[in-house]
Structure 1
Amino acid sequence: MPRRQYEVLPGGHGSRVKINARGRAILRNPRINRGTAFTQEERKQLQLVGLLPTHVTPLEAQLRRAYERFRKAETALEQFAYLQALRERNTVLFYRLLSDHLAEMMPIVYTPTIGEAIKEFSLWYQAVNGVFLSIDQPDLLERALRSNVHGPDDVDLLIVTDSEGILGIGDQGVGGIQICMGKKSIYTAAAGLDPDRILAVVLDVGTDNLRLLNDELYLGERHGRVRGARYDEFIEQFVEAASKVYPHAMLHWEDFGAGNAHRLLETYRDRVCTFNDDIQGTAAVVASAILAGVKGNRERLRDQKFVIHGGGTAGVGVAGLLVDLLIKDGLTEDEARSRFWITSSRGLVTDDATQKFRDFQRPYARGIGELEEWELDQPGHYMLADIVRNVHPTVLIGTSGQPGSFTEDIVRDMAGHVDRPLILPLSNPTALAEAVPSDLIEWTDGRAMIATGSPFAPVSYQGVAYTIAQANNALIFPGIGLGVAVCRANRVTDGMVAASAEAVASLSVVQIRGDSLLPSVKDLRRVSATVALAVAAAAEQDGVAERPLTDPVEQIYDAMWQPVYPELIIEN
C-alpha cells in the first residue's frame, strides 16, 4: 500500500493531522489543503512558498469569501457546481460553509437541485471522489474499493446506488453517484461523520434511459440496464467484496428501483450491516411526525387508522415501521396490520385474485369480503375517496406521486370525523404533492396537523401561523449512521430504526395549533446526536453492538468530526 499523504491522529474530532506530502500534492488533496490559510511558516515547511498568493487568509475570512461566491451564482445549478468544486478542493472549508448555512444549502447539495445535477452529470463532469463499479468488470470490484487507500478499519459507511429510482426522475445511469455524494455531505454536516470514512459508490449496471444512451458524452456503460440473475450475481459480488474490504462499514442502499429495494434489503439485512433510506429512513421520519401528532392529541398510536395512498417502496416501508410501533403499543401483528388501508395504482390493495400487486404489499391486502357493505362511487372499484368515506381514517399519508389527489372533498370528509386529522402529503418534488398545506388548513378549518415531503413556507390562517413540518430523511439517516459507527453495530435492526423515530419525536412539542410536528433542519446536529444515542442503545439492547457503550454521550460527541483546520504535525 502506498504511503499516505496524511494521517489523522488520536485526539478527538480529527483535530491533529500528520502530513507526509509536500508542495502541490498538498494543494491537490482536499482533506489537508487549506489554501491561503496556510501560515508563512507552514508554507516554508511544506514547500508551498510561491504556490499561493502571499496574504494569509484565516478560515473565517475564507468562509465570507466562499459564501459571497455562492450567493453570486445566478442559478441553483451553478451554486451546486461551485459547492462541488469547493468540496473537491478544501474539505474543511466546504463542510464548515455547509454547516453554517445548512438550511439554505441543503436544497442545493441535495434535493431538489441535485436532481438537475444528476441529469447533467456527464456534461458538467468534474472530479468526484466516489467509486465507480461496473457490472462488466466484476473482477475489479475489490481493486476499485481499495482505490482510496483505506484500511479495513478506516471506513464506517458505504453509500451505494444503482441509479434506477433517482428522486422521482428515474433511471439516471452513472450520474447517480451524485445522489450518494449529496447524502455523504449531509451525513457529515448533520452528524459529524468523518468524510474520509464515507465512500460514495455507484453500481453501473447500464441504463434504460435512451437520452443517456444516445448522448455521446455519457460516461457510463452503454447498454441497457442488466436485470435478473446477472444483476443479482453482481450485487452479491459487490456485497462480498465490500464486506471483505471494509468489514465494519454499514451499507446504505440509495434510490434503487421499487422492484429491487425491498428485495435487496430483505436479502442482506440479516447478513451484513445494511440500511435503505428510501424504506427505513422515510418510514422513521414519517413515524416521528405521527408519534408527535398522536402525543399532541393526547391519544395512543394503537387507536389510529391509517390510509396510505401509494403502496410503493416508501409507503409500505412506513407501514412496516408503524406496525412495529403498534406492536410495541400492545397490539398483535395481525391487529396492527388491520389498522392499514393501502392503495396501488388500481385502488385499494385487496386479496381479489384478479388484482396484481408486489410481494411486499401482500401483507396489507384487505379481504374482499370485508368491503361488501362499502358505499362506492363506482361498483367494484375501491378508490381513495371510497376508502376515506368508509374507513374514517385518523392518518392520511401520501406517497403516490399523484399531485392533487388529496382533494377538497376527501379532506373535508376525513375532517368531518376527526377532530385533528394527521395529513402527510409526502410526494416530492412540490409539483407532485398530494395537496398543499394552505389548502389542507383551509379545508379543515385550521385543524389539520401536517407534514410534507417538500419544504413549504409557514401558512397564516385566522391569525395563527402554522409551521409546516418537512418529513426530511436528514432528520433520521445521519444519526443512524453515527450511532452505528460509534457502537460498531453489525446489523441495523427494526428496533434501531424504531428508536430513531422515537428519538426525533421526543424533540417535538406539539401543544397548540401551528406547532410543527418535527424539529427544524436548522437543528440537525442536535437531532442527529439524539438519534445516534438512541440507535446505539437499541443496538446494544438487540445484541448487535460490537463496541461497548461505556460513556455514550461522550462517545457520540467524540466521534463527531468538526470542520476546523486541525493542528498540523509536519514530518521532516
Structure 2
Amino acid sequence: MVLMSCFFHSRGRILEVLRNWPEKSIQVIVVTDGERILGLGDCGCQCLPITIDVGTNNEDLLKDEFYIGLKQRRATGQEYSELLDEFMTAVRQNYGQKVLVQFEDFANHNAFTLLEKYRANHLVFNDDIQGTAAVVLAGLIAALKSVGGTLADQTFLFFGAGEAGTGIAELVALEISRQAKVSVEEARKKIWLVDSKGLIVTSRKETLQPFKKRYAHEYEPVKDLLGAVKAIRPTALIGSAGVGQSFTEEVIEAMSSINERPIILALSNPTSQSECTAEQAYTWSQGRAIFGSGSPFDPVKYNDKLFVPAQANNAYIFPGFGLGVVISGAVRVTDDMVLAAAEGLADQVTPEHIDKGLIYPPFSIIRKISANIAARVAAKAYDLGLASQLPRPKDLVKYAESCMYTPVYRSYR
C-alpha cells in the first residue's frame, strides 16, 4: 500500500514523486482527491493513503492558517483530467500494469468518469461504485433466502441516484440479466430511482445526468418517496441519498402493507444521515422487516425476539476482492468479477444468520469471508482468461489464505 500525497503543483513530476517512495513492490494503491469523504464532504488533502491534492472548496479549510494543503479552489476540467492522466501513467511506469488502483471518495461528477475512462486499459476499481454495489447485491441475494423468489421476481426502489445508488442499481440489473437470461435493458425495468426531484421518469429525461437516464421509465411524475412507494410497490427499498430519517413511519408502514417481509436497506452514513434506525424499521414493520444499514446499530428486541441488524460494510468486499485480483495476476477488472464477489459473500449467509435478521455473515470471521471472496474473484479471472499468475492453483481458497498477512507479534513477557 502506498501512503503519500501528490500535489497539483507537482504536475510534470508525479513519476518522480512516486519514485521517492522507498517500497517498490506495490500491488494495490488506494487513491482519493478528498472531495467526498462519507457524509463528511470535502476533506481536502487531509486523508490517506494517496491523496491527489487539487485544492479544496471547503471554506473552513481555505480560511484555516494551519491547513497543510493547497489553499485554492479545486482544479476542474482539462487541468484536472491531465493531472489524473499523468498520475495513472506514472503508476503504470513505476509499478507495472498489474498494480490495482482503487478510486476512493471521488465526487459523483468525477467518479463515474474516471472509472469509465480507465477501466478498459488499466487495472482499476471504484469502491464507492463497485464495492458498495457488490456488498448490497450480496445482501439482497441473501435476503431472498427469507423472502423467496429470484431477483427477477422483485421490484427495487432506490432513494438516491448518485454514484452509490446508480452503481448498486446497475450491478443488480447485471445480475438479473445473468440469472434470468434477459438483456440488461430489460432487467433495468425492475429498478426505479428517486432523486431530490422525485421519481425518475421519461418526462424528466432531458434534464437528467447521463448515468440516470437509463433508469428513466415511462410513468407519471411522482414528487416524493412515499408516493413512489405506493405507486411502484417495491419489494426492496434502498436508501443512499444521505438524507437522515427519510424512511418515515409512513414509508415503512407502506412497504409493510405491500410485502410480508419488506427489505429495508438504510445505507447512508454516518449514523445521523441514516434513512432510519434499526429500531424504527423493526418497530414500524411489526418485526417483519429485513433490515440492513450503512451505519452500525445495536441489536433490537421486538416482541421478545432479538434482531441483529446487518451492516452493509464495504470491508466485506474490497480486501477479498483486491486479494483475488492480486493472487490471480488479473490484468483487468470486469463486472463479472464484481458479481462473483457479491455471490461469494451471499453464499456465506446461513439460515441461522437469516433467522437472527442478518443478511451478512458476522464480521468476526472476516478473514474467512475475504479468503472465499478472493477465491471467487480469482476463479472468475482465470475463467475469463484475464489471469496471468500461472499455473492456476488447485485450491484457490487455501492459496488465498496462504497469501494473507497474519499479524504475529513477539511476546516480550
* Length-normalised TM-score, structure 2: 0.95
2:258 counterpart SS class: coil
Matched with 2:296 is 455
Letter aligned with residue 246 of structure 1: Y
The one of 497, 500, 506 equivalent to 2:338 is 497
d(CA) in 1 for partners of 2:111, 2:407: 34
Query: How much has 1:553 moved relative to structure 2?
Result: 2.9
The one of 427, 432, 443 equivalent to 2:268 is 427
d(CA) in 2 for partners of 1:471, 1:507: 14
d(CA) in 2 for partners of 1:429, 1:464: 27
Q: Which runs of 4+ in 1 moved over 4 A?
A: none
Confirm or deny: 8 A CA contact 2:222 2:228 kept in the other structure.
no
2:34 is the alignment partner of 1:163: yes
What is the correspondence of 1:34-183 to structure 2 with a 5 Å cutoff? 130-151=3-24, 154-177=25-48
Matched with 1:343 is 194
Letter aligned with residue 416 of structure 1: S
What is the correspondence of 1:412-491 to structure 2 with a 5 Å cutoff? 412-491=253-332
Moved more, 351-360 or 265-274: 351-360
d(CA) in 2 for partners of 1:354, 1:399: 21
What is the correspondence of 1:310-459 to structure 2 with a 5 Å cutoff? 310-330=160-180, 331-353=182-204, 356-367=207-218, 370-371=219-220, 380-459=221-300
Moved more, 383-392 or 255-264: 383-392
Confirm or deny: 8 A CA contact 2:205 2:213 kept in the other structure.
no
d(CA) in 2 for partners of 1:174, 1:453: 25
Query: How much has 1:554 moved relative to structure 2?
Result: 3.5
| 1:405/1:510 CA distance change after superposition, 3 Å | farther
Confirm or deny: 8 A CA contact 1:307 1:395 kept in the other structure.
yes
> What per-residue deviation string (whole Å, max 9, x for no partner) do you get for residues 157-202 of structure 1?
010000001111111111022xxxxxxxxxxxxxxxxxxxxxx211
d(CA) in 1 for partners of 2:351, 2:252: 21
What is the root-mean-square deviation in Å for CA atoms of aligned residues? Answer: 1.6
The one of 367, 370, 385 equivalent to 1:528 is 370
2:73 is the alignment partner of 1:221: no
2:172 counterpart SS class: helix
d(CA) in 2 for partners of 1:364, 1:136: 40
d(CA) in 1 for partners of 2:377, 2:398: 15
> What per-residue deviation string (whole Å, max 9, x for no partner) do you get for residues 99-119 of structure 1?
xxxxxxxxxxxxxxxxxxxxx
d(CA) in 1 for partners of 2:131, 2:205: 33
Matched residue pairs, number? 405
Matched with 2:359 is 517
Query: How much has 1:532 moved relative to structure 2?
Result: 0.2
d(CA) in 2 for partners of 1:488, 1:281: 19
d(CA) in 1 for partners of 2:278, 2:409: 43
d(CA) in 2 for partners of 1:402, 1:132: 32
d(CA) in 1 for partners of 2:89, 2:145: 44
Confirm or deny: 8 A CA contact 1:509 1:515 kept in the other structure.
no
d(CA) in 2 for partners of 1:510, 1:440: 21
Query: How much has 1:354 moved relative to structure 2?
Result: 7.4
Letter aligned with residue 550 of structure 1: P
2:149 is the alignment partner of 1:305: no
Query: How much has 1:260 moved relative to structure 2?
Result: 0.5
Identity %: 37
Confirm or deny: 8 A CA contact 2:100 2:124 kept in the other structure.
yes
> What per-residue deviation string (whole Å, max 9, x for no partner) do you get for residues 357-392 of structure 1?
22111111122xx33xxxxxxxx5432111110111
Give the number of the structure with larger relative contact order, counting CA–CA contacts within 8 Å between residues 6 or more apart: 1
Letter aligned with residue 157 of structure 1: V
d(CA) in 1 for partners of 2:104, 2:264: 26
Query: How much has 1:139 moved relative to structure 2?
Result: 2.0
The one of 402, 405, 408 equivalent to 1:558 is 402
* Length-normalised TM-score, structure 1: 0.69
| 1:415/1:130 CA distance change after superposition, 3 Å | same
2:12 counterpart SS class: helix
Query: How much has 1:143 moved relative to structure 2?
Result: 1.4
Is the radius of gyration larger for structure 1 or structure 2? 1
Confirm or deny: 8 A CA contact 2:372 2:397 kept in the other structure.
no
d(CA) in 1 for partners of 2:276, 2:232: 20
Confirm or deny: 8 A CA contact 1:464 1:513 kept in the other structure.
no
Query: How much has 1:217 moved relative to structure 2?
Result: 1.1
d(CA) in 2 for partners of 1:173, 1:310: 24
d(CA) in 1 for partners of 2:339, 2:351: 20
